Amino acid sequence: MFQGIFNYDNPVWRYIGKFGDLMMLNVLWIVCSIPIFTIGASTTALYYVTLKLARDDDGYTIKSFFKSFKENFKQATVIWLILLATGVILAFDLYFLLNVLTGSSMIRTVFMAAIGALSFIWIFVFTFAFPLQSRFYNPIKRTLFNALFMSVRHLFRTLGILVLDAALVLMGYLSVFYAPQFTVLALLFGVPLIAFVNSYIFNGIFKKYIPEDENGEDSGELRPILEDVAIVAPKSTQQAQEDE
């Protein structure tokens, strides 16, 4: 009985170990995001590890994080800067519409609808871009297109991710004012907890685009999302083994 309880393969201990990894990832993500322009690379590295944790594909957390950070730095940084720039433009447009532009209510309504639609597109792409970058090799343009395509094609799961993320952020915010004893948990786990929860959903989505070999495992081969529309190239199993 006691041997089973203290066996590391026990699901309880495995999850305790995962939470320890999340605390470590929280420190790594914060430190590597301090320069601001590196947030894309650090978020990609974060998802690289949490996707593995959600698949029970345990490895060396620190080694895996920095390996992904280094390999994806250039593309993830460009993707982050593109999303940051477009996000700032959308925010400015919204501010201008609400506080500066005066005139026909119909014109304001049309502009508001356009900005709202573009904002949803931005949120969808932002949600999928870094998990995709961490899991697949593609040019930047293709990664952004795949992010939009997947988020729309799996709309209900995308909405589920956004609802879960909003709930976790709200719980963390409210804990500061109404349950200070839980604030330390938010500080310990932070963004990695959100990424870890999201990773269970992302793994379910990504699995649809990665063919399995005869053993039921990822073959690492190229598979199209839709013929002649979008293609994702899963990172090779050899690279995954190097992280072990």
Question: pLDDT digits over 42-95, tens only?
Answer: 999 999 999 999 988 877 899 999 999 999 999 999 999 999 999 999 999 888
Query: Quick one: pLDDT at residue 60?
Result: 85
Structure tokens that stand for 119 in this block: 């904002």
d(CA 226, CA 149): 10
* Percent with pLDDT over 90 in the chain: 54
Query: Quick one: pLDDT at residue 230?
Result: 45
d(CA 236, CA 240): 7
d(CA 90, CA 189): 30
Query: Quick one: pLDDT at residue 215?
Result: 54
Average pLDDT, the chain: 82
Structure tokens that stand for 120 in this block: 């949803």
* Percent with pLDDT over 70 in the chain: 76
The domain of 103 spans 2-242
222 φ/ψ sector (left φ>0, alpha ψ -120 to 50, else beta): beta
The answer to whether the Cα torsion of 90, 94, 95, 96 is positive or negative is: positive
In this prediction, residue 211 has a pLDDT band, given cuts at 50, 70 and 90, of low
Q: Which residue has the higher pLDDT, 226 or 197?
A: 197
CA distances from 153 to 41, 47, 200 (A): 26, 21, 17
Q: What is the mean predicted confidence (pLDDT) over 200-220? A: 73
In this prediction, residue 212 has a pLDDT band, given cuts at 50, 70 and 90, of low
Residue pLDDT, tens place only, 12-37: 566 677 888 899 999 999 999 999 99
d(CA 135, CA 3): 37
Query: Quick one: pLDDT at residue 239?
Result: 54
The answer to whether the Cα torsion of 87, 81, 134, 32 is positive or negative is: negative
Query: Quick one: pLDDT at residue 219?
Result: 47
Query: Quick one: pLDDT at residue 108?
Result: 79
Q: What is the mean predicted confidence (pLDDT) over 154-182? A: 86
Strand, coil or helix: what is 38? Answer: coil
User: Between helices 155-178 and 183-206, what is the axis angle to 10°?
Assistant: 180
Q: What is the mean predicted confidence (pLDDT) over 129-146? A: 93
Number of structural domains found in the chain: 1
Query: Quick one: pLDDT at residue 222?
Result: 38
Q: Give the least confident one: 82-91, 93-102, 157-166.
A: 93-102
What strand order describes the sheet that includes 230-234?
136-137, 230-234, 223-226
d(CA 127, CA 166): 12
Structure tokens that stand for 22 in this block: 């999340």
**Whether the model pTM is above 0.85:** no
Amino acid at 157: R
d(CA 54, CA 30): 21
